């Protein structure tokens, strides 16, 4: 009883998924560089600079999460496409 494919097709599928994951990791890196906010140089700690740093840190974290979610969705989408019978 054959459940899936030949060994060659299985290896091709594994290589395909591996390449997709590497590609999407590269996309994450690029998106993080695009969305990351520039670090703020603080000469004197005041209530205002602390608030600004907190806001910018939260914004950078939010942007990174958006980028990771976009790439995760892309990986899931590609995996679904690859596993659907043609």
Backbone φ, ψ for residue 29 (5° rounding): -60, -45
What digits encode the pLDDT tens for the residues 21-69?
Answer: 888 888 887 777 776 666 555 555 677 777 788 888 888 888 888 888 8
**Do 13 and 5 touch, CB atoms closer than 8 A?**
yes
Q: Where are the domains of the chain?
A: 7-37+44-83
**Do 66 and 12 touch, CB atoms closer than 8 A?**
no
What digits encode the pLDDT tens for the residues 2-34?
Answer: 455 556 667 778 888 888 888 888 888 777 777
The C-alpha R_g of the chain, in whole angstroms, comes to 21
């Amino acid at each position: 009883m054959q459940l899936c494919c030949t060994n060659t097709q299985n290896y091709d599928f594994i290589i395909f998924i591996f390449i997709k994951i590497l590609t999407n990791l590269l996309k994450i890196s690029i998106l993080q560089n695009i969305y990351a906010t520039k670090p703020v140089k603080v000469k004197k700690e005041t209530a205002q600079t602390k608030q600004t740093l907190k806001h910018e840190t939260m914004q950078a974290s939010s942007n990174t999460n958006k980028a990771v979610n976009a790439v995760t969705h892309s990986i899931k989408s590609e995996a679904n496409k690859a596993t659907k019978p043609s």
